[in-house]
Amino acid sequence: MQNAVINNKMNDTFLKACRGDDVDYTPVWLMRQAGPFLSRYRKVLAKVDFLTACRTPEIAAEITIQPVDDLGVDAAIFYSDITTTVVPMGMDLSYVPGKGPVYANPVRTREDADRLRVPEDVADGLGFVFAAQQICARELANKVPLIGFAGAPFTVAAYMIEGAASHTHVNTRRMAFGDPTTFAVLMEKVTRQTTNYLRRQAEAGANALMLFDSNAGMLGPRDYRELNLPYVKRILADLANTGVPLIYFGLGQHDTLAEIAACGADMIGIDFRKDLRSAVEQLGPAVSVQGNIEPYVFFETRERMERRVAETLSGATGARGHVFNLGHGVPADAPEAQVKALVDAVHRQSAR
Ligand code: CP3
């Protein structure tokens, strides 16, 4: 199933930690590590816009690999966005600098949901992703694993309903509770597209797959269990036979971690608002943990940042495995030297 080359020259510490195997040090990568805080990233994005960068395989591959070379992280995450996955379903996506990804045709009615297509062949409209991942897999074969990803269905559906990033998600709530049939039609279609998309990434060379559920905390535990988690479980169950580690990050879900531990992922991402030690207790011994230092830690002094790295490493003692990460994405204005210093500190402090 898996085409990616894992040879003895690849640093597979990240994959080992995902599975709970013994490691020589705690591996680290950072959400949004391929982003505007990197000077080489800014140089590329001065010449092309965000969506063009995502859709040009050579550029997307180059940006994916930048943080591996410049920061020394133990995994690459494919450069793309959760909003591009559903464009072939009929979503009209553009990128507004300062605002982010925007859909011109938000899904608000049953007719809107019925109109969405799930292409038979997921490469139909997303071929550039798999082409870029083949380049990445080749160029990373002697370096580190490649993480493929998608947004979790609830997070992507909320984006499709709102049409842009939202803090209140009023349209999503209105549909989920006021028109559950339309919401279910939408979730069903997004779930199918997401499963096809992630499976094809494993075939193209992704060595691990991650579901970003950044809107998971929009719902309280009761509604999360009913309207979100079942779809996540279905996707992860479908992907179990890819053989690659599966990662789930449900931002803002803290009371349901015992249930999340059983969602079918090998590793669970924890956000910065949750105490890591208590997260590990709730997750139990069957999964690894990823996280969760404060994303603005880069603005602390070097000494204080070092101390916080030690605290985070210590918080994960007792976990089956730990992959160090932020509790959310790297800020666009994080000082690059501090980001590099954090990666070095994790490696130095955790060396066994
Ligand atoms: O982590 C990585 O480096 C991999 C690439 C990646 C991006 N977006 C690139 C990106 C990943 C995994 C994402 C996921 C994503 N995108 C999420 C889920 C994770 C999260 O952050 O909560 C969401 C909600 C989005 C939607 C999105 N994309 C927004 C709201 C924005 C604009 C606001 C912002 O923070 O910049 C984006 C743009 C985006 N996606 C950038 C990058 C590198 C910034 C583009 C630029 O300024 O050059």
Indicate if ligand 1 lies below 6 Å from the C-beta of 220. Answer: no
**pLDDT, mean of residues 41-63:** 98
Residue nearest to atom 13 of ligand 1 (CA): 81
pLDDT in tens, 277-328: 999 999 999 999 999 999 999 999 999 999 999 999 999 999 999 999 999 9
Indicate the domain borders of the chain: 2-350
Question: Percent helix, strand and coil across the chain, each rounded to 5?
Answer: 50, 10, 40
Closest approach atom of ligand 1 to CA 149:
12
- Protein residue with its CA nearest to atom 42 in ligand 1: 35
Distance (Å) from CA 313 to ligand 1 centroid: 26
| CATH 3.20.20.210 is the classification of domain 2-350 | yes
d(CA 254, CA 260): 9
Instruction: Give me the amino acid identity at 224.
Output: Y
Query: What mean pLDDT is predicted for residues 153-180?
Result: 98
Cβ(35) to ligand 1 under 6 A?
yes
DSSP 74-89: S-EE-S--TTTTTGGG
212: DSSP letter? E
Question: Which residues make Cβ contacts (< 8 Å) with residue 99, sequence separation at least 6?
Answer: 164, 165
What are the angstrom distances between the C-alpha of 123 and each of 198, 213, 232, 248? 11, 23, 22, 24
Mean pLDDT of the chain: 97
Mean of pLDDT values over 56-68 = 98
pLDDT-based confidence at residue 4 (cuts at 50, 70, 90): low
Tens-place pLDDT, residues 238-250 = 999 999 999 999 9
Phi, psi for 250 (deg, rounded to 5): -105, 85
pLDDT for 1: 41
Q: Give the pLDDT of residue 2.
A: 47
Q: What is the Cα gyration radius of the chain?
A: 19
What separation in Å is there between the alpha carbon of 32 and the centre of ligand 1? 7
Single pTM value for the model = 0.97
Instruction: Check residue 7 and give its pLDDT.
Output: 73
| Atom 47, ligand 1: residue with shortest CA distance | 36
Q: Which residue's C-alpha comes closest to atom 2 of ligand 1?
A: 32
Secondary structure class of 291 (helix, strand, coil)? strand
Q: What is the mean pLDDT of residues 194-223?
A: 98
Here the tokens at position 252 are 């803002």
Q: Does the beta carbon of 324 sit less than 6 angstroms from any atom of ligand 1?
A: no
Residue nearest atom 9 in ligand 1 by C-alpha distance = 81
What is the tens place of the pLDDT at every residue in 65-104? 999 999 999 999 999 999 999 999 999 999 999 899 999 9
